[in-house]
Chains A and B, each alone.
Chain A
């Protein structure tokens, strides 16, 4: 596609439910990043993939958060047993091989009630 796409754009869920957020990177971009942006803050790194391999997951806040990219293209960020503090904008970015510039998608706004 022309840009990074994310779905859903908005997600409202009840505390304790699991949610799955999807990211479809720009065609040809092998690197994929997930960030979380709280209200009034800048994006904060969660995890990073190169092809299907998760290279860095140091930013995942706890074991309720996980991510996968099984075929090296679309990625899913899963949050289990959601809590109100998980409410935020979740952003995905992708980049070309060996490139420093990351291109961001529109984000998924998650609200946990």
Chain B
């Protein structure tokens, strides 16, 4: 069955510290991988995506993610977290255009000062 697992429900990171949010997927076809962020009262904003090519992809707001096929993972990273990064983060997997995205349950990030 196709699925996305985000093992961490809630993570707290100190401001300025590095961040890694984990995502593992199970998908039969070649996956397209996405990270979205949801801030309070906002819609889901696309942070970055991976379709093919270089397995390290850069996104907005200083985020990056690395695709590791052998581990079926697509972890999100940021070298230095800002208080404004506090939000809920969703990993998603899809296939070709016109197919549904499958989302993980999300990881809530809190940033402490």
Contact = CB atoms under 8 A, between A and B. Distances in A.
Q: Which of B32, B46, B101, B103 has the most CB of A within 10 A?
A: B101
A72 interface: no
Contacts of A31: 97-98
Interface string B19-38: 00000000000001010100
Nearest to B36: A104
User: Size range of the interface on A?
Assistant: 20 to 34
B48 to A, nearest CB: 10
Interface of B: 4, 32, 34, 36, 41-46, 49, 51, 90, 92, 94-98, 100-106
Interface of A: 3-4, 31, 33, 35, 40-45, 48, 50, 55-56, 59, 91, 93, 95, 97-107
